[in-house]
DNA sequence: GCAAATTAATGATTTATTCAAG
DNA sequence: CTTGAATAAATCATTAATTTGC
């Protein structure tokens, strides 16, 4: 046991063992009733109060999470060191591949590309991707309406939202005579606060 | 980890952490521009497409809502099945100490007893303990409101959750004329599986 | 071996979120 | 838009483990 006049609860080994067993068995955030039961049970092994049990589960849960997260982060940092950043890979992912359509035509003779960007912008549709409907037939109508149909990408350098730090790719569209030059600007990473600001701006403005 | 040729996106831990951070920072339903920025940013950590980001935020928002709804449901069920015994006095620790006051009167001649359990129940105050204010004078208002003040303890003998094996202590409250008889029922110990069942019941029901 | 000094664990508090009800 | 309720995250504070110098 702790120092005689300890200011805090010192669980006995039995108490800790039982608590850990309970946690392992699935008790993660006991409710009031459960806390009562546990406290009663554990009081057999030594002085204990409900709040001790409450705190124990709070702390234990939090620290298990923390342990896990740290492990993952460590792993990740290892992965990261071995990682290349491929800007142009063979993925059906939106921005880069679509822009590449300017260089090589789309596999099927569909209308694909930027057209009537002004109208799209008015609708707030400044970016969408093509859903692979063969993969997701159950996608609902509103989804399709919102994101489906034509692929288009639009970047407005003068937009304050994009003057925030980020990576982005843009095209300098001059005329429709030929493929415009492709330019990739690499700035610094988007931060959550940047996005939040923009989000608020968009929601409130 | 993702299988090599997986047909669906497997977010890396780092990606998940960043997405969660963004969500917490206020990005709940990113618009197309934001999605693109996020995708570009996260592609540094691994393969990702805009639709992954879109779906992630959709799902995360929905699941957060769901989690909360379940929590609220659980809370309601608890309130319905539990009795609330509401005590007014300044005691340092909850259940047993309080009940023991029935045997030996509290150190100060204060009103002690059950009153307006329904009101307490309505507030969802199904478990709290008294902070020893003499030890912590700097405790703030919200804290006191949340945890402090009244102690309450609930025991419902008819509740199925409490017919599970446990030790518990209860009072048979008759009138407010005098201290009710104290009865301590000693059953058999709480097991982790019992508690887990109740936990699952609450979570899934 | 053994304390003082240092570090790691962990109990207890406070702060910051979350959602949706009012 | 504000608030309530719950709780996860961050932090503070104390106890245990350990390292260190003798």
Q: How would DSSP label each residue in B77-109?
A: HHHHH---EEE-S--SS-HHHHHHTTTS--SS-
Per-residue flag: B28 CB under 7 A of strand C: yes
Task: Please state, in angstroms and rounded to a whole number, the distance separating the CA atoms of residues A118 and A165.
Answer: 24
Mean pLDDT along residues A12-30: 94
Range of weakest confidence among A121-130, A152-161, B48-57: A152-161
Task: Please state, in angstroms and rounded to a whole number, the distance separating the CA atoms of residues A146 and A135.
Answer: 18
Nearest CA-CA partner of B17 in B51, B49, B50, B41: B41
With a cut of 50, say whether residue A133 has pLDDT above it. Answer: no
Q: B195, A37 in Cβ contact below 8 A?
A: yes
The residue with greater pLDDT, B74 or B171, is B74
Give the number of C-alpha atoms closer than 13 A to the C-alpha of residue B144, restricted to the C-beta side. Answer: 11
Q: B138, B156 in Cβ contact below 8 A?
A: no
The pLDDT value given to residue B84: 33
> Does the beta-carbon distance from A27 to B192 stay under 8 Å?
yes
With a cut of 80, say whether residue A35 has pLDDT above it. Answer: yes
Other C-beta atoms closer than 10 Å to the C-beta of A62 total 10
The residue with greater pLDDT, B204 or B66, is B66
A202: contact with B, CB 8 A cutoff: yes
What does the mean pLDDT of chain B come to? 51
The pLDDT value given to residue B128: 37
First to last CA, chain A: 61
Instruction: Give me the CA B59–C1' C20 separation in Å, rounded.
Output: 18
Mean pLDDT along residues A140-147: 30
Task: Please state, in angstroms and rounded to a whole number, the distance separating the CA atoms of residues A99 and A105.
Answer: 10
pLDDT band for A4, please (50, 70, 90 cuts): confident
pLDDT band for A32, please (50, 70, 90 cuts): confident
- Tens digit of pLDDT for each residue in B167-189? 333 333 333 333 333 222 222 23
Nearest CA-CA partner of A91 in B89, B202, B52, B82: B52
The residue with greater pLDDT, B61 or B109, is B61
With a cut of 80, say whether residue A20 has pLDDT above it. Answer: yes
Where are the alpha helices (H) located in A11-93, listed in sequence order?
A: 13-24, 32-42, 50-81
The pLDDT value given to residue B134: 30
Q: How far is B154 from chain A (nearest CA, A)?
A: 7
What does the mean pLDDT of chain A come to? 55
Most confident by average pLDDT, A43-52, B14-23, B62-71, B83-92: A43-52
- Which helix (H) or strand (E) segment holds residue B19: the answer is helix B13-24
Chain A residues in contact with B166 (beta carbon < 8 A): 37, 40-41
Per-residue flag: B139 CB under 7 A of strand C: yes
Mean pLDDT along residues B44-49: 88
Task: Please state, in angstroms and rounded to a whole number, the distance separating the CA atoms of residues A194 and A164.
Answer: 7
Task: Please state, in angstroms and rounded to a whole number, the distance separating the CA atoms of residues B74 and B120.
Answer: 17
The pLDDT value given to residue A81: 59
For strand C, give the nucleotides within 7 A of a protein CB.
Answer: 10-15, 17-20
- Tens digit of pLDDT for each residue in A45-79? 999 999 999 999 999 999 999 998 888 777 776 66
Nearest CA-CA partner of A56 in A88, A30, A82: A30
- Report the predicted TM-score, pTM, of the whole model to 2 decimal places: 0.49
């Amino acid at each position: 046991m702790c120092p005689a006049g300890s200011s805090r609860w010192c669980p006995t080994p039995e108490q800790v063992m039982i608590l850990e067993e309970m946690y392992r068995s699935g008790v993660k955030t006991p409710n009031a009733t459960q806390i009562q039961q546990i406290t009663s049970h554990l009081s057999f092994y030594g002085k204990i109060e409900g709040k001790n049990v409450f705190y124990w589960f709070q702390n234990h849960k939090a620290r298990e999470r923390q342990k896990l997260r740290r492990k993952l982060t460590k792993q990740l940092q290892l992965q990261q060191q071995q990682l290349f950043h491929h800007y142009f890979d063979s993925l059906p992912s939106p921005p880069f591949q679509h822009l590449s359509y300017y260089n090589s035509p789309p596999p099927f003779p569909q209308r694909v590309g930027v057209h009537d960007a002004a109208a799209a912008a008015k609708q707030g549709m400044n970016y969408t991707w093509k859903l692979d409907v063969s993969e997701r037939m159950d996608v609902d109508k509103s989804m399709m309406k919102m994101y489906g149909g034509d692929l288009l990408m639009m970047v407005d350098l003068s937009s304050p939202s994009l003057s925030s730090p980020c990576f982005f790719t843009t095209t300098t569209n001059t005329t429709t005579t030929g493929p415009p030059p492709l330019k990739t600007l690499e700035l610094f990473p988007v931060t959550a606060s940047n996005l939040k600001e923009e989000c608020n701006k968009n929601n409130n403005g």
